[in-house]
Amino acid sequence: MPELRQADRIAIQQLKARYCRLMDTKQWDQWRQLFTEDLVMDCSDDVTPDIGEPVITGRAKATDQVQRFVGPAITVHQVHAPEIEFVSDNEATGIWAMSDVVSWPPETPPPVASVTVIHGYGHYHERYRKVEGDWKIAQLKLTRLHVQAQ
């Protein structure tokens, strides 16, 4: 059983690595496939109330909103120090330390008029579910501890 858990742990780490790479390279169709259909995404927080979005339910709605928000921006997402715990054979939770940079080019109006670049630090709190043999993100909550905005 520990070998199976190790393989699942690696699969979840690769899932999160793809999350960052596919978002930053704007490969939206592939990025959407990383989530369950009933995804619950919450990017709202107290540190960036004008930037975060309220809770969104459903993969299509959540991923469309993220694409509209950061699609025109240059983004760099980095995650590390995963804390992964298995709830069952098909469900796990994870917390990832994160930092991101989001920069809207001059020709693209940013979602918040006074902000053209943000550099944030915080954590992703996630729940994963195995669907047809593949781990997917079922819930995602982004909490920011600090944001530098320009």
For residue 61, give its domain range: 2-149
Domain holding 19: CATH number? Answer: 3.10.450.50
Q: Is the entire prediction scored with pTM above 0.75?
A: yes
N-to-C CA span, the chain:
49
Cβ-Cβ contacts under 8 Å for 96 (sequence gap 6 or more): 16, 79, 80, 81, 82, 83, 123, 124, 126
pLDDT in tens, 110-133: 777 778 999 999 999 999 999 999
- Token pair 């995602």: residue: 140
Cβ-Cβ contacts under 8 Å for 105 (sequence gap 6 or more): 72, 73, 74
Q: Answer whether residue 50 shows pLDDT above 90.
A: no
Question: Is residue 78 within 8 Å of residue 100, measured between CB atoms?
Answer: yes
- State how many domains the chain has: 1
Mean pLDDT in residue range 55-68: 94
